[in-house]
Structure 1
C-alpha cells in the first residue's frame, strides 16, 4: 500500500513539473525558486512610517520639533519616573542606599556614589579597578560576582593602553545619562502595542551604564524579583566564568564601544512591541501562496539585507547574549550591538507578542557559529537611512516553542500558536510601494526540536497572509532546499490558499495522533492525489 502511495505521489509531482514547474527535481540544488535580486527589499520597498511624532502608542526620546526643523537629535526634556511602568533609572532621586553613621543612618543618592566611582576610571590601568568600581555600588553581590572573563580579556585582548582608553571613554559616556536620557523610558509590557524611538547616542549611553552594572533592581533573578519577567541588562554575567565564547563576545562588544565613543552615530532606532488581540481565523484565509526563494547558501543578515529579517528569538529577547549563549539570536545581538538595549525595557514575549526593531547598525564582522564563533574585525555599515534617520534594517524577534518531544509540535494548538506568532511578526500596518520580503530560515529547529519542513510551511503561510514573499536560508542543507521548494511549487500550481492548506494541515495533525510516523509533505501530496482521483 505504501509503495502505491509513494508511486502516486511521484507521478503527481512529475505531472506538475511537466506543466511548467520551473526546475525539474534534482537532489542537491543549492538555490531554487524566484531570483534573489527580484525579491522586495528596502529602501525601494519600505513600510513608510510617515512623519515622526509622539503619541499614546509611541514614545520618542528626542525632541520631535527640533528633528523636524533641522534633523538635530536633541534629547526630549522630561522627568525620571520611579514606578512599575517605567525603567528605573540609575540617576533617580529614588535610587538610594543607606550609609551607616556613628550616630544615625543616612540615605544617600546612589548616583552620587556611581559618579564618584566611575570618575576613578579616568586613569584606569588595570582591569581589577573596573571590578572594584562595579562592586562598590553593588555591595550585595560583592562576593557573588566573578570577573575572571573580563580580566583574561584585558590580559590577552591586545593593546592594553588602547583598551583602557575605551574604558575611560565608556565611563564618561555613562555619566552623561541624566543629560542624554532625561525622559523616562516606558516598559514594553505583554499585550501592549507600543513603540519606543531613541537615538543611537542614547542607546550607547544606556549600554555603557549596562556595562558598568548601574541599573537598579535588575540584578536579582529570583522568581519573585521585581524584574523576574524581564531579561537581564547589567553585564555582570558576561564578566565571570571565562570561556572562549565570552572572550569573542567581549571583543565584539568592545568594538561597538570603541566605535561609538570615537564617532558617535547620528541616527534613530525604533523598538516596537506588537500584539495580536486574538487568534487569527486561519481556516477562512483566501490568500494565495506567496513567492519563494530558497537557498542553502548565504545568511539572513547579508543576503537578506533590506528585508524583514527574522531573529530566532528567545522569549527573553537576546537569549544568552550576556551569558554563554552564542547561536543565531546572540550573534545578531552582538554584531548589531544596539539590539542589546531592548533587554532593558522589553518584558518576556507572550504567545501573541513580538518585538520589531528598525534601524540597528552593524558594528562587527564575524565567522563561525556557537563554539566556532570568532570576531573578525570592525564593520562599516553603509545601509541607507529612512526619513527618521534609521538604518533600513528591520529585525523581527519571534520566539518559537521549545518542544520536549517531536510529536508535540503536531498538536494543532501548537501549530496555531506558531502561525499566530509568525503572522504577528510578518504583518504590517502601513504600505508604501509594497512589503519587503521576509528573510528567514529554520526557525525553532535544532535545540528547540522543531521539524524544519513544518516550520517552513508555517512561515510561508504566515508570510502569504501578510502579503510578503519569503527568502529562506537552510544554512547548508541542500536536501531541505529541494524538499521545501518542491512543496511550495506544488502548492502554487494547485492554487492552494492559506485556508485550504490550513485545513489539510489540521487533518494531518489529527491523523498523526494515531500515526506518529506520518510524513507531512507526503500527506499533503497524497491528500491532493486522493481528491483528484475521486473527480
Structure 2
C-alpha cells in the first residue's frame, strides 16, 4: 500500500535557508531535518498578524522556496485582526500544540493512501494535527495533485471570492479555538469505495421504488452535512470534482469541505476518483452554518452541541462539456452516460450498512458547472437509491422552484413503480431532446396516455 509521508518523518529534509539550526545538524548533502526546522520556527513568538505571517512565510520558504499561493497573507491577516487578542491567547496556542503533537499521534510519520475497500480512521487528535499542518503549509503535495492540498490558497489579498476565503479561514480558526468543546472520543473515517466487480443493474429491475420527496428551500445551507439533520443512518451527496476537496470559490463541495476542517485531510490520501469510485467521509465536524452558494453566501455560528458531522458522499458527475455532443444526442441519455452515473450513485448509496429509514439528501447533482440534465440525473439517483434501499430527498432552492414542482408531480405519478419503470421512462425520451426539456416530454407523455 502506498503511503503519504508527513513532515515529522526523518526522510523529510530541506535546506536551512535561514541558518536556524547549528551546522552540525546538516547531512552530507547540506540538508536538515524539516521537522527540526518546523520546531524551531514554531518557537518564535506570535503576538500580531505580522508575526503570524512571518512564521508562515518562513515555513513556506523552507518547504517550497517561496510564499507561493499565500502571496502577501493579506486575507489571513485581516481575519486574524478581526478576531483580536483571543487569536493569540487561545487559537494560536492550540494550532501550535496540535502541529507539534504530530510525532506523538503519528508514530509512523505517514498515512495510508486510500485504495478501494480501504478505510483510514483517525482520532480527533490526529485529524487536528493534520489540519494544523494544512494551516501552517508544511505539507508536501500528494503525487496526484499539485495544488489545493493546504490552506495557502485562502491567504493572499487577491482572492477570486474574498468572502468565501474569509469564511474558510474563520472555520479553521473556530475549529482550533473551540476544540475542547468537541467530543474527543469521535473517530473520523475516510473510505474509498468502488463498484463491485459482479455488479449488474439487471438484478435490481424489479426492486420497488424507494420513497422520494422533493423539498424546496429559500437558499441552500450546510445544514445538510450536520449529523442532527441527517441522523446516524443518513447521508448527503457532495457534488464533487474527481479531485475532491476544498477550493477558493463557493461551490457546494467547497462549502461543505471548507466548513468541516476535519474533512480537509481527505485530499492527502484520496487519489483522483475513477469512474466507478466514490469517497465517503464520516464524522467531520461542521463549524458554521453557511447559507447560499457561489457569490451570495453568509454564515452564522453553529452552537457547540450541533458541531457533529454526518456522512458525506463525494460523487463526481460526468463533465458534460468535456464530452463530444456534436451528434445532436443529449449526452445524459447516451447509454454510457446513464450506466456510468447509475454505477457511481449506487456505489455511493450502498457504501454503508443498511438501516431503516435511511435517507440520502441531494441537490441537483452534476447539473451546475457540469451541465447535466436535472431530470435525467434525478431519475438516475432515484434508481440508485431504490437499488440500495435508501430513501431519497431532492433539495431545490428558490431558483429551481419550477423544476421542484414538476419533478414532484412526476414522482407522485410514478409512485408504486419499480426500477424497471424508471429505466423505461429514460429509454422513452427521444435522444435528441434538448437539455432542460426532458421533464416536459415525460409529463406530456404521461398526460397523453391518461
TM-score by length of 2: 0.84
| CA shift for structure 1 position 245 | 2.6
1:252 to 146, 152, 171: 171
| Higher RCO, 1 vs 2 (CA within 8 Å, ≥6 residues apart) | 1
The change in CA–CA distance for 1:377 and 1:112 in structure 2 (over 3 A counts) is same
Q: 1:164-196 CA distances to partner (integer Å, 9 max, x unpaired)?
A: 23223312220110001224320014xx11111
Q: Is the 8 A contact 1:231 1:347 kept in 2?
A: no
- Structure 1, unaligned stretches of length 5 or more? 1-83, 219-225, 384-390
- Structure 2, unaligned stretches of length 5 or more? 18-22
Q: 1:447-483 CA distances to partner (integer Å, 9 max, x unpaired)?
A: 2212212211111111011111111111223322221
Mapped partners of 2:251, 2:303: distance in 1: 20
**What secondary structure is seen at the aligned counterpart in 2 of 1:273?**
strand
| CA shift for structure 1 position 111 | 0.7
2:243: which partner in 1? 316
The change in CA–CA distance for 1:430 and 1:208 in structure 2 (over 3 A counts) is same
| CA shift for structure 1 position 260 | 1.7
1:486 to 384, 409, 424: 409
Q: Is the 8 A contact 2:238 2:252 kept in 1?
A: yes
| CA shift for structure 1 position 412 | 1.9
2:11: which partner in 1? 94
Q: How many residues align?
A: 421
The change in CA–CA distance for 1:231 and 1:505 in structure 2 (over 3 A counts) is farther
**What secondary structure is seen at the aligned counterpart in 1 of 2:42?**
helix
Q: Is the 8 A contact 2:75 2:166 kept in 1?
A: yes
The change in CA–CA distance for 1:200 and 1:144 in structure 2 (over 3 A counts) is closer
1:293 to 188, 213, 216: 213
The change in CA–CA distance for 1:439 and 1:304 in structure 2 (over 3 A counts) is farther
TM-score by length of 1: 0.71
Q: Is the 8 A contact 1:292 1:488 kept in 2?
A: yes
Q: 1:32-74 CA distances to partner (integer Å, 9 max, x unpaired)?
A: xxxxxxxxxxxxxxxxxxxxxxxxxxxxxxxxxxxxxxxxxxx
2:383 to 441, 446, 461: 461
**What secondary structure is seen at the aligned counterpart in 2 of 1:290?**
coil
2:300 to 370, 373, 376: 376
**What secondary structure is seen at the aligned counterpart in 1 of 2:336?**
helix
Mapped partners of 1:111, 1:518: distance in 2: 54
The 5-angstrom pairing of residues 14-163 of structure 1 reads 85-98=2-15, 105-121=29-45, 126=50, 127-142=52-67, 145-146=70-71, 147-155=73-81, 157-159=82-84, 161-163=85-87
**What secondary structure is seen at the aligned counterpart in 1 of 2:178?**
helix
Mapped partners of 2:178, 2:16: distance in 1: 38
1:39: which partner in 2? none
1:29: which partner in 2? none
1:32: which partner in 2? none
2:337 to 414, 419, 442: 414
Compare CA radii of gyration and give the structure with the larger one. 1
**What secondary structure is seen at the aligned counterpart in 1 of 2:366?**
coil
CA RMSD of aligned residues (A): 3.0
Q: Does 1:343 align with 2:267?
A: yes
| CA shift for structure 1 position 235 | 1.7
Mapped partners of 1:344, 1:371: distance in 2: 28
Q: 1:91-119 CA distances to partner (integer Å, 9 max, x unpaired)?
A: 11111124597997433211111111112
